[in-house]
Structures are given as structure tokens and as C-alpha cells.
Chain A
């Protein structure tokens, strides 16, 4: 497949790994933000190709993982108690809320449907005019244009039974929260390539300078990821902290101006509660007042937020890069993809799911590496 196969070339991967080994003279800890990158790293065993003193930790870039339990409760409530068709990306269905998950709601008779695109949910709404249709709009900046387009299309075509339950999060505020945390151990970042495809690179310069952390905009194939790591290690070794673009075939400095305009038309920046991390100011997107008829949170208000259940899940520490999945006592025993305690074990981008799927062997605890 063009633009995929050549970036998986084994000889190139080995050459890059050799180059990293030559450049790295000291221990460094690098975080890849995006869960898609986490899965590529674990699936292809890229971390095994690195010198022992280069540690990759896995970031919060998994929208399913950071969607708050309260919002999942709200989605369940919409599906069970309001006669709605609840449309969602498939990953969300087995994520536990404070009560049941969406798959259990479906088993109890709720009309929960998995869609590939938010635009498909608009089509379902047009086909079912008598019923409310709610799309569970989770995602980072990458997904925001598609979710915003669903609202614009519904407005244009007067699809009045369509609305979205928004759980949109933004990457740069989370990077600041991680770097500013007292137990932070991240020294450099691989930034999420497709987030930058939309938003461009301007937001990252101030973060790199303020926290003296190199930020490499990185793609998703093995050659992309190792190139990102090499550039990051080169900067760390030479004491630089700059933004570099290792994914220029898909990322321009200004991002995608058409997509950004669509997002800014429909959404405004708001505070957001990240599961496992807590509330981060100005770290999410909410529908603008002009689009309130399409806001499911206003159409179907949840009576009261449920108390958060006690859980063994250490997703917050994993997503801040403080711990790795194998450090969790419940990993692979009381917490599995079939019976997850937390979202990172469910999602196709969750770090725990990646380790469970691709790593049967034991991994040393992070503290001992």
C-alpha cells in the first residue's frame, strides 16, 4: 500500500535503530502522545530495538480512555431512557462508566449502533425522523472536523432529531499538564501527527521552550516513529528543545485551514474533565451557543452526576507516563479486554490493550528500567 509499505521497511528500521543507539549516550524518557503510535510501537516491537536507557512512555492520546465516566453514564442514560438511537465509535461500547457500559445497555434493549463516521449518524437520523439520534462525539483535534461537519450537515439539511454528546479533548493542554506535574519524568515528546495535520505546529513552540522539552511531530509507521525518536534523542543529547516536523508529508505548519475553520465555526474551547487526569482548563471543545439544538447534553440533561466508583485502575498514572501497564497489579488478571476495569484495556489505542495483545511476556517495572 503506497505511503505505508515503504515506511515499514525492515532494513530502514534497523538502520534507524542503529543510529539511535549511536547517538544516545545517556538515559532519556520520551513520551509518544498518541495511542495509535503506542500500538505501532508495541505491535512492531520498536521499543525492543532501542538501547535499554531510552525509555518510551505512553501518553493520554486515546480519546476513549480519557472520556469521563460521567459522560458514559449520560450516553447510557440517553440510550436506555429516552428512546434514542445512540451512535458511537465501536471502542466506546465496553468502556465502563460509573454504572453499566453501552454494550450492557444494548443487551438490555437500548438501540446502540456502531458507526464508522459521524456522517453516518446523520444518515441514520434522516432515516429515522421520529426518533432522537445522538452521536457520541469523542475525539482529539483530528476527529473534530468530522464531528463538526456532522452538525453543519444536520443544520443545513434540517435534521432536527440529530444531536451530539461532546467529549472533545485537546492535546497541547494535556502536554502542559503532564510536563507541569510534580512526578513528571517525560523529557521529550513525539507529538501526534494527525492532530498536527489539522491544527498545525504553532501551539508547540511555546511548550518546547517553557518546559525545555523537544517536540517531534511524528507519523505512525515504524520508520516514522524511529525517525521521531532519533530526532528527539539528537535534541536531548545536544541540549536543544525545539519543534521538528518528521511527518511533513501530512503536516503543514499552518495545519489544515479548511478543517480548522469548520471546527471553529461549530466548537469553542472549554474546560474538560479527563478520565484519570482530572479537569484541565481550556482543554476541550464544546458546541457554540449557535448550535445548542444539536447539543445532546442540553437536550437530555442527566439528573445528577453519579459518585465515582472506587477502582483499582491506575489509568491516570499510565497516561501521565509515570507507570506502565505491567506495573498494575490487576493487569491481565482482574483486568482484561473482555472484563476491563478501565478504558485503556478496552480501546484499540489504549496502552493496556496494546500490552495485553502484543506482549505476553513480562516487562520489567518502569522504576527498574
Chain B
């Protein structure tokens, strides 16, 4: 039920906040999706879509977090990385910094590991 699938915004329709929608392409399958909950979404962004509603824009920098974390652990040594997920070189990324909010503390624990 909580399944949400990432797709690319290819056309935005309307500007009324309650009715604003987008055509979203899921690897070629296009569906009309509400952008009411993601007013920041723009053409070319990837949004996570759940029951016809975009619930989040995918953060391309954070999307690299998993790979950065594994790299920091040395777990990626000796294997080929999957296609660079966000067009950023892992080697060029700064090391994880301290947690930036009162929320989760992943960065801190990653740094410790």
C-alpha cells in the first residue's frame, strides 16, 4: 500500500495548488500525477508517486548517500560501482558532515564507522 515509484516529471499542468498535476514518466509509462504535495517539483525532477500523488521529490544528492556510505566503509573496494546514480563522482564528494538537524543522526554514525 505504501509503495511509491520514482518517475520523471515531463510536463506540468495547471497552477491551482489543489489541482496542479504533472505527466510523469515511469521508464516510458506516463501517468497523470498530482503535484499538490510537491509544489517545488519542476520539469526533469524525479518524484516519488503513491496512489496518483507525488509525495516527495527525490533528492539527487542524498540519493548518493548509500554509495557514499559504502565507500566510506571500504565496502566498494574491488567492485565496479553501478552506473553513477546522480552524475556525481563519489571521489569528489565531501566526507559526511555532522547531523544538520535535530532529526536522525546518520551522518554522525557513518562518520564513526
**Residues of A bordering B, CB below 8 Å:** 1-7, 9, 11-12, 15-16, 18-19, 34-36, 61-64, 89, 91, 116-120, 138-140, 142-143, 145-146, 149, 152-153, 156, 192, 194-195, 197-198, 200-202, 217, 220, 223-224, 227, 231, 234-235, 240, 242-246, 248-254, 256, 258-259, 262, 347, 349
Contact = CB atoms under 8 A, between A and B. Distances in A.
A116 B51 contact: yes
Given A119-B34, A245-B104, 17 more contacts: A5-B82, A6-B82, A7-B66, A15-B79, A34-B2, A36-B3, A116-B52, A118-B51, A146-B53, A198-B55, A202-B102, A217-B104, A240-B109, A248-B59, A248-B65, A259-B37, A262-B36
B8 interface: yes
Contact of B58 (A35, A195, A224, A249): A249
B31 to A, nearest CB: 8
Nearest to B60: A249
A39 to B, nearest CB: 9
Q: Which of A195, A242, A250, A253 has the most CB of B within 10 A?
A: A250
Given A244-B105, A259-B37, A117 B4 contact: no
A143 B105 contact: no
Contacts of A245: 103-104, 106
Interface residues of B, number: 50
Interface in B60-98: 60, 62-63, 65-67, 69-70, 73, 75-76, 79-80, 82-83, 85
Given A197-B55, A223-B66, A244 B104 contact: yes
Main secondary structure of the interface of B (DSSP, over half): loop
16 contacts: A2-B85, A3-B63, A5-B82, A19-B73, A35-B1, A117-B53, A119-B53, A142-B50, A220-B3, A243-B103, A243-B105, A245-B104, A250-B48, A253-B103, A256-B56, A262-B37
Given A146-B50, A243-B105, A258 B36 contact: yes
B2 A61 contact: yes
Interface string B1-33: 111111010000000001100000011000000
B2 A142 contact: yes
B27 A1 contact: yes
A284 B109 CA distance: 33
B1 A15 contact: no
B18 A152 contact: yes
Contacts of B46: 2-3
B70 A12 contact: yes
Contacts of B59: 248-250
Ranked 4 nearest A-B pairs via Cβ: A253-B103, A117-B52, A245-B104, A249-B63
Contact of A249 (B27, B65, B103): B65
Contacts of B109: 231, 234-235, 240, 242, 244
Contacts of A64: 1
A253 B2 CA distance: 19
A202 B102 CA distance: 8
Given A2-B46, A12-B79, A249-B59, A149 B53 contact: yes
Contacts of A36: 1-3
A253 B79 contact: no
B106 A231 contact: yes
B85 to A, nearest CB: 5
A262 B39 CA distance: 13
B85 A156 contact: no
